Amino acid sequence: MLSGSFERLKIVNGMNQTFKEYYYSGEISRLCKVSISQGDASFRHDMSSMIFRSGFKILILNDSDIRESEIKEISNTILSNQAFVRQLMAIGFDTLIIVGKKSLMGEKFGLKNYANLNNYYLK
């Protein structure tokens, strides 16, 4: 459990650093912060962590005038990387959550639906 927790924190911290660098350089217009949160029970799979620690949450900090298309763009960037999705699943995440800080506009995605594992060992 300890090494799994370390891996999870490593990914969260790495993503936060990457989001900051891209925002500061002007490559992205939204500043995002990644955290671990409650997942959605309907997205559980064999490797899921406890439900209150199975969500990979991306919070959009500057979400004024956010459009649904921007949330789709962020989700597509994450979910189209099948290796990253499988890595998230292997360390216990089952839900990708993208949400605005103030607007609360957002979506949830079941990672197992994007891992391309042909339902192998997933419930």
List per-residue pLDDT tens for the chain, 123 residues long: 445 688 999 999 999 999 999 999 999 999 999 999 999 999 999 999 987 799 999 999 999 999 999 999 999 999 999 999 999 999 999 999 999 999 989 999 999 999 876 655 444
CA angle 111, 96, 22 (to 5 degrees): 120
Q: Where are the domains of the chain?
A: 2-113
Q: Which CATH number is 2-113 given? A: 3.30.300
b/e per residue 6-40 (b: at least 16 CB within 10 A): eebeebbeebeeebeeebeeeebebbbebebbebb
| pTM score over 0.75 | yes
